[in-house]
């Protein structure tokens, strides 16, 4: 059973859902969420309208074992499972009703390579719906095009594979974003996550006194291409997230000697130097 904590007002309003540790080795979400829950419990914060539901740890076993997942990536092929066979299927069945009923979803993550915090938004038609929310989170970089690049990669057999928590919540009408708060172990990720939750509570009208002055100048990067680690290999240099790379530059080399050459000038997105074979190694994107 997942730990689920809700604070609600009698006044109608937005139902906000905040998730942590969808990936078990991403610890800034649980820390930030527990900090905010503590402030509600202490009476420092109260909900003026609507409700907020927190799930500090969405994948408890992976969290205990400090792993991304146990048997199945909880953020891929997300759906209700009538016949759950894997550990994460049971978690999906617990999380699905929350994702289906929320109006706004904030899903807090971190990533492997060092670099700045950013948020993912959905398709271009969702830009005007999701970017004001992202700006309120105090995150100044938005990345998008993930789903399209994922689908175009050719390695994905089942289209439902690209369905994560945000995609599932959007399908059920929510405004949704994933905030990536920096490197997994960077202590600066926790305050980033706390500010994001505070911003969400204010933006949704739940705790208006948390509202703050924002500049809405978002930097934007579109993911154009996903690279799977099809076989053993390594990066040409210790890439950091959003490092610039030039067309023709060697990004990585397979152990058999074949090089991956950057097909255009842009940025490397979420490079994962310790990626196992058969998973997402890195993405290439361009600024817009």
Q: Count residues near Zn ion (CB under 5 A).
A: 3
Measured from the CB of residue 87, what is the shortest distance to Zn ion in angstroms? 17
Would you say 51 or 178 has its CB closer to Zn ion? 178
φ, ψ of residue 42 in degrees (nearest 5) = -80, -5
C-beta separation of 117 from 139 below 8 A: yes
In the region spanning residues 24 to 63, those forming contacts with Zn ion, defined by CB under 5 A, are 26
Would you say 142 or 207 has its CB closer to Zn ion? 142
**Partners of 269 in the beta sheet?**
283
Measured from the CB of residue 207, what is the shortest distance to Zn ion in angstroms? 26
Q: Is 141 in the site for Zn ion (CB under 5 A)?
A: no
Q: Determine the interface stretch with Zn ion among 20-28, 36-44, 226-234, 256-264 (rule: CB under 5 A).
A: 20-28
Q: Is 229 in the site for Zn ion (CB under 5 A)?
A: no
Q: Determine the interface stretch with Zn ion among 12-20, 57-65, 107-115, 228-236 (rule: CB under 5 A).
A: 107-115
Q: Is 109 in the site for Zn ion (CB under 5 A)?
A: yes
Q: Determine the interface stretch with Zn ion among 52-60, 91-99, 106-114, 137-145 (rule: CB under 5 A).
A: 106-114
Q: Match 């978002």 to its residue by tokens.
A: 218
Q: Determine the interface stretch with Zn ion among 19-27, 29-37, 142-150, 246-254 (rule: CB under 5 A).
A: 19-27
Give the up-direction half-sphere exposure of residue 188: CA atoms within 13 A in the CB hemisphere.
7
Measured from the CB of residue 75, what is the shortest distance to Zn ion in angstroms? 6
Q: Determine the interface stretch with Zn ion among 80-88, 101-109, 157-165, 257-265 (rule: CB under 5 A).
A: 101-109
Would you say 26 or 280 has its CB closer to Zn ion? 26
Distance CA 41, CA 39 (A): 5
Measured from the CB of residue 200, what is the shortest distance to Zn ion in angstroms? 18
Measured from the CB of residue 177, what is the shortest distance to Zn ion in angstroms? 13
Q: Is 23 in the site for Zn ion (CB under 5 A)?
A: yes
Closest CA to 167 of 146, 185, 183, 187: 146
Would you say 190 or 260 has its CB closer to Zn ion? 190
Measured from the CB of residue 166, what is the shortest distance to Zn ion in angstroms? 11
Measured from the CB of residue 213, what is the shortest distance to Zn ion in angstroms? 30
Measured from the CB of residue 91, what is the shortest distance to Zn ion in angstroms? 14
Q: Is 241 in the site for Zn ion (CB under 5 A)?
A: no
Residues that bind Zn ion (CB under 5 A): 23, 26, 109
């Amino acid at each position: 059973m997942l730990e689920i904590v809700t604070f609600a007002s009698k006044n109608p309003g937005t139902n906000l859902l905040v998730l942590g540790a969808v990936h078990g080795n991403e610890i800034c979400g649980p820390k930030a969420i527990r900090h905010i829950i503590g402030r509600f419990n202490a009476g420092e914060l109260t909900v003026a309208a609507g409700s907020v539901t927190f799930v500090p740890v969405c994948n408890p076993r992976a969290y205990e074992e400090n792993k991304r997942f146990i048997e199945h990536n909880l953020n891929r092929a997300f759906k209700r499972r009538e016949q759950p066979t894997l550990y994460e299927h049971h978690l999906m069945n617990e999380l699905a009703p929350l994702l289906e009923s929320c109006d706004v979803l904030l899903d807090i993550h971190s990533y492997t390579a060092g670099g700045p915090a950013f948020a993912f938004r959905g398709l271009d038609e969702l830009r005007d719906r999701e970017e004001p929310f992202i700006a309120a989170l105090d995150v100044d970089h938005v990345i998008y095009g993930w789903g399209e690049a994922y689908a175009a990669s050719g390695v994905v057999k089942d289209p439902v594979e690209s369905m994560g928590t945000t995609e599932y919540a959007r399908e059920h009408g929510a405004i949704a974003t994933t905030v990536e708060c920096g490197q997994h172990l960077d202590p600066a990720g926790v305050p980033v996550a706390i500010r994001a939750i505070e911003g969400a509570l204010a933006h949704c009208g739940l705790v208006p006194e948390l509202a703050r002055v924002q500049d809405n100048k978002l930097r934007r990067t579109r993911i154009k291409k996903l690279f799977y680690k099809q076989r053993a290999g390594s990066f040409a240099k210790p890439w950091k997230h959003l490092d610039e790379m030039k067309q023709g530059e060697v990004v990585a080399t397979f152990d058999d000697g074949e090089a991956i050459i950057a097909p255009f000038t842009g940025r490397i997105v979420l490079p994962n130097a310790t990626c196992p074979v058969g998973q997402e190694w890195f993405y290439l994107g361009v600024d817009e």
